């Protein structure tokens, strides 16, 4: 009888524990996710702080000079997948123009990026802020977005492909309500389409950014904003 009594209590305890685990609220799960995200962020900050302290002890610059331009040799349409990006090359050829003279000519061409070029770190900082043009004639000014990276062997940095992915993803997104409110005030045939869509759908209007820049899709480069040769803010140039 005693064995049966304790066995029944054991089953009751197991059932209570199981029910307790099964009724974990979504709020508790979200809190756990937030806790883990905060822990990871603190770990990354601590690692960067330690590297800065080591650099200070070695008397090396804490904020190195950043490149004036990024990816200026890339030829690519922001509306196409990043796998179509090519690198610009210039080759020279020498040929005889006459019996005693020769002429040199330059041929512009492009080729697909190699795997090593795709994974090469183009910007070595942990944070990269890009100013994105959002309309055909830059009437409304750029929108900024800041990205963080832990690539580069733990030292941070953005590879060529990662930067291109950020650019492509930005323009594939729908315009925000704020962008739409500003966009309907601009002057272009793309703005005409946006106004027609907004008049019909109102706040539910969906309009991709890449469709609002029109033919302005050719990637040129990322150019560091003037005034600070150590900053991580770059303007995207497209034409």
215-232 confidence digits (pLDDT tens): 999 999 999 999 889 899
Phi, psi of 137 (to 5 degrees): -115, 20
Q: Give the least confident one: 27-31, 157-161, 205-209, 234-238.
A: 27-31
So what's the pLDDT on residue 194?
96
Rounded to whole angstroms, the Cα distance separating 169 from 123 reads: 19
pTM: 0.75
Rounded to whole angstroms, the Cα distance separating 171 from 211 reads: 8
Which of 89, 159, 167 lies closest to 118, judged by CA? 159
> CB–CB of 71/160 below 8 Å?
yes
């Amino acid at each position: 009888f005693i064995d049966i009594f304790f066995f029944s209590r054991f089953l009751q305890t197991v059932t209570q524990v199981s029910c307790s685990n099964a009724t974990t609220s979504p709020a508790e799960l979200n809190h756990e996710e937030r806790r883990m995200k905060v822990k990871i962020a603190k770990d990354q900050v601590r690692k960067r702080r330690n590297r800065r302290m080591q650099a200070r002890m070695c008397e090396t610059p804490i904020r190195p000079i950043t490149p004036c331009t990024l990816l200026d040799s890339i030829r690519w349409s922001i509306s196409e997948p990043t796998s179509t990006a090519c690198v610009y090359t210039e080759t020279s050829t020498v040929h005889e123009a006459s019996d005693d003279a020769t002429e040199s000519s330059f041929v512009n061409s492009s080729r697909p990026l190699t795997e090593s070029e795709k994974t090469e770190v183009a910007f070595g900082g942990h944070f990269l802020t890009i100013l994105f043009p959002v309309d055909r004639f830059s009437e409304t000014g750029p929108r900024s977005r800041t990205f963080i990276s832990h690539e580069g062997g733990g030292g941070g940095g953005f590879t060529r492909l990662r930067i291109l992915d950020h650019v492509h993803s930005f323009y594939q997104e729908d315009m925000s309500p704020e962008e739409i409110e500003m966009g309907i005030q601009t002057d272009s045939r793309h703005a005409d389409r946006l106004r027609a869509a907004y008049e019909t759908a109102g706040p539910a209007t969906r309009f991709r950014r890449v469709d609002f820049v029109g033919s302005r899709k050719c990637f040129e480069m990322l150019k560091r904003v003037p005034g600070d040769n150590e900053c991580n803010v770059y303007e995207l140039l497209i034409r």
